[in-house]
Amino acid sequence: MPTPTERQAERQTFSRRRLLADQTAATVDNSLSSSRNGEVVLGDLRLNLDTLQVTLGGRSLKLTVQEFDLLVVLARSAGKPLSQAELAQHLWHEVTPERIRHLSVLVARLRSKLADSKFYKLRTLRKRGYGLMLPPINRIEELKLAKDGLDVLDDILRYASTGAPIDSDDIERMKWYGVFYRKQTPGFFMLRLRIPNGILTSQQMTEIGSLSNQFGRGKIDITTRQNIQLRWVRIHDVPQIFESLRRVGLEYRQSGMDNVRNITGCPMAGLDPDELMDASPIAGAIQDVIVGRKEFSNLPRKFNISVSGCRHDCATSQIHDLSLTPAVKDGRAGFNVMVGGMGGEDADFARDLDVFVEPEKAAALCIGVIELFRDKGDREDRRRSRLRWLRETLGLETFRAELQARAGTLERAGTSQIERFAGDHLGVSPQKQPGLSSVGCLVPVGRVQGDDLLEFSRLAETYGSGELRLTNNQNILIVNVPEECLAALLKEPLLQKYSPQPSAWMRRTVSCTGQDYCQFALLDTKGSAMEFAHRMDELLPRETAVRVHWSGCQRGCGQHHIGDIGLQAARRRVGDEVVDAADIFLGGRMGQDPRLAVPVLEAVPLDELPQRVAELLRDTNDQDALPSA
């Protein structure tokens, strides 16, 4: 077992990593604050309070001093109309008929000059005055305009204490605090956390398991973003859960809707002997800067980030809105930058932005990309509101130039240090720390019980340093295990249930939430995925793992487009019955020549699926369909 001295040393390492993240976040935060001193930024509109200069979409506007003063007042109250009397009082400290008439003239001139804005328009609101308002484009933009998602906390507490019916708009806004109403479980909610880079202490995991047992029937899902979702939560328990999470340093704000989602990275960050650098402090720093700030709580759409120094790209950089991947330039270790990846119906891979950034500047650059997306992303059509569409609209060079205007001079890309793609870190893996190893345990399709998380915590304390990692393949790693403790750990009953050496077909199986908790899913993807893997082990045994990804609908949350085999839920009529089925996709891969899996068969009934897939693979003999090593 680890000695108290060894355990203390590892905890100090964890504390140093946390301190580095805090210091990086403080640096970025100070940079952001100084860049905003004397400046008001609103969408594509920028007002410099020192020079009285105004730019709209990068183009200079000529305003009189009174027009400028009026614009500043309106910008600071954007989304909220001000009466004629309020505006006159702001501008002239008096309200007279003559001032009101002059105000009308100023408004008319200013409205004309702001006509080209993609975002806020100067509007006259009958009986309410004037305001810089976003056009009422869609329901989500309208509800964000009415009230920022971060302002819903008091409402959550009120609903929890009174049991009053929840307003439909607040149902959406509650997602800013990680609280999701699920139609599949009437009267209950899902609570999503934020766990940057998937790194947890045993104390935190114990708290999660205990909260799930106490308030959520012990049902927990590990997600493909190295995150955790608690099930079966009642609204009246949410305040107590929030307080318990805060007490152990766990975050939940801005984990849904139009926000930067949980920031992912290599599960072995800081431990992998082959990594270029430990990038986990950067993930923590970005979260510390954005969470709780309205500056970052109203993006056009969700925004996924991965930051990794791993040479195996286990963070799947090519399917994120923004990815930092390990690179070297002129002998300096840092990151190359990729933008515009996404899954779903319009899945696409991220593109190289031809940018190299050093680690100490990486978080600030990410903030610059987020701001660019916030200010210029499409807010009209939510189907085209991800960063991918802004990248396509601007083109890579213009996108890069826009970012450079915000973030300062950008270096051209360095030499990529990625050597292979989509590692999983299961099994026993030696760490860079002499005499220590990680033990990666398969959590089949990411579904785990609260009691099992408590046991994982105990094992991490008993055999390791009290630290655990979540992976984007929905698994759990126990890290910092001394060599002499490995044999005893591997014999523990929990590791017979969550095996470090699973079968080839089970090892890389990933599934979305499925019909149990998702209104869009057409079938129980998690149960179907496990049954399929067991049948394939019998029909087509292999030594090399196969990446099988299940999605319950076309939204693609199970990432079926990137699997060696992708399976998307479907329905099929067989005689007088409609049965559960799946569309079969083959050949998805990442790397130097990435490609999305292509559909080969539609609506295969689930009871025929293993046999049909086995026959298909034997018949096609396609060497690209499955990995050979």
Catalytic residue (one of 99, 118, 144, 301): 301
Q: Which residues contact 338 (CB under 8 A, 6 or more apart)?
A: 317, 318, 320, 322, 323, 325, 350, 351, 352, 353
- Sheet with 59-61, strands from edge to edge, namely 39-42, 45-48, 53-56, 59-61
Catalytic residue (one of 218, 343, 446, 558): 558
Catalytic residue (one of 144, 175, 192, 225): 192
CA gap 311, 329 in Å, rounded:
16
Distance, C-alpha 549 to centroid of its chain: 19
Q: Which residues contact 613 (CB under 8 A, 6 or more apart)?
A: 536, 540, 565, 584
| Token pair 């295969």 in the structure block, residue | 604
Q: Where is 406: in which H helix or E strand?
A: helix 396-407
Q: Where are the alpha helices (DSSP H) in 330-386?
A: 359-376
**What would the two tokens of residue 85 be?**
């009397």
Q: Would you say 277 and 16 are in contact if contact means Cβ atoms under 8 Å apart?
A: no
| Token pair 């094992």 in the structure block, residue | 459
Catalytic residue (one of 552, 556, 566, 587): 552
Catalytic residue (one of 113, 123, 302, 497): 302
C-alpha angle 352-354-356 in degrees, rounded to nearest 5 = 110
Active site (annotated) includes residue 302: yes
CA gap 565, 19 in Å, rounded:
41
Sign of torsion over alpha carbons 424, 429, 430, 436: positive
CA gap 333, 277 in Å, rounded:
8
Active site (annotated) includes residue 59: no
Q: Which amino acid is at 603?
A: A
Active site (annotated) includes residue 558: yes
Active site (annotated) includes residue 557: yes
CA gap 282, 370 in Å, rounded:
15
Dihedrals phi, psi of 378, to nearest 5 degrees: -75, 125
Cα separation values, 90 from 12, 42, 87, 124, 348, Å: 54, 20, 5, 18, 49
Active site (annotated) includes residue 514: no
Q: Where is 102: in which H helix or E strand?
A: helix 97-113
Q: Which residues contact 66 (CB under 8 A, 6 or more apart)?
A: 91, 106
Cα separation values, 473 from 331, 408, 426, Å: 33, 36, 10
Catalytic residue (one of 361, 377, 557, 563): 557
3-state secondary structure of 371: helix
CA gap 377, 391 in Å, rounded:
9
- DSSP-derived pairing of the beta strands 305-307 and 467-470: unpaired
Q: Which amino acid is at 94?
A: E
Cα separation values, 457 from 109, 195, 230, 493, Å: 64, 16, 17, 14
Catalytic (active-site) positions: 192, 301-302, 552, 557-558
